[in-house]
Structure 1
């Protein structure tokens, strides 16, 4: 005896393909779709329960969650499924279902199933993280382009400001609040930071005077950059909230922005959760890794996780060790988040910080530098085709 699931309902067939029992799905497209979706998720719909109650000794063409699995046998593929596919027209006729009606329902049910699956896929929140991180990267690229331009532009008027104000946000504020360098003395109190520019620097400046229209254009670009900074901060807050909701453990261990970038780079939380810590450690450093493989250059020790504060401020000989430890904790956190486990972020972060302190104590001094191996040199010139000898065998 075999159970076979069809768009119209659930059939019980014997070894010859004869219908012994049949439980139709409720009328309409949505009830059929609902029951089929339950079966795909491994759950038992109402129709299957009724068949099971009437016929305890069955084998299945799909594996379902059953209360007492000892009574049922899972066989795939089985002869029942083959018989059904070969004789579905006769089986439909015996079940008093017209083939034309069946075809129409088949099309509608399959379309609805496809629609639900696409909607569920688009509804995965880690996809929101991916696009948000792409936007964040584009904000960074755009801001950097404008900053490079405005520094060069404003340096025509006040070249000393480029080195005197290294912080980009302070530089933009200086342009917007001071503008013309001749107003520095009377407007410097408007700045939110303590400027190290002196009156002597202003007096000895090599820059040229700009007209009001010239300065107005520079200020418009500075204002645009300030707006971009504000929008970027808003996007970072959105990403932080989103990651804290979807991957709280990974967010706690790696910081929300780094966690989001790792999820985006991996293509989703599920993909990140199956990656080993060694892969997580080098995510974002693929170019450096290929350069190492191709030319023999130094291998990369970290990628995206370099942005982690403890790695950034650590001395060079500790960075790789901290990166390995961090990647291992991220791998654990991602798996817990993907499986919907309990919150263990604080515990993982505590272990991480403890291990970082151990590394700092154990390796306080830089190791002796190793001699660099010569890098491989590749001849990129086109190779000459092999020329056969002009001399034939036996002729010299």
Structure 2
């Protein structure tokens, strides 16, 4: 049987081919330290233990999202392959609250900053290495931001789906959700305060009147706005 492996800021998770969680290991070290090792392809103790547990359950093939990690796992005698994104990674990233609770964003942000600091500290060599590391760290942060904006768009689109196409630029979309919130709050004056062009304002006002989105109360909208404020 095949198992798909991925990680988040809390631990390592394994899923079967149907997307069912079949095993996990919560990190026994500082998350940023463990993630740094995993991203470099190191088979840490928590991962080795999880693989042995899965092997005892009858799983003989493992799919990882990191090529170097899959190679090193093969060297330990396991059957392993690389695939990005894999089923496990998609499950973990698409449902962060399911695995980390309501404070998932704060945990991602805290560990992300700590990981960036750790990587910079590790670079005691030439200046160009530090620059490369900083660029990679910024790329990682950019990926996280894009993921969060995608989640924000999916969430808010339940309420006002037409806005996704009308505001394709992420900064404009985030500012809209953050400052306006509920679609009933949309006015020409508020849209003008966001610096939107007249034709764009007209289209948004028209979409508001014809929207196919579901109704949400202010409590639900505030939760979505809180996510927008963190981006």
- By relative contact order (CA 8 Å, sep 6+), the higher-ranking structure is 2
TM-score bracket relative to the smaller structure: 0.3 to 0.5
Larger radius of gyration: 1
TM-score (norm 2): 0.46
TM-score (norm 1): 0.28
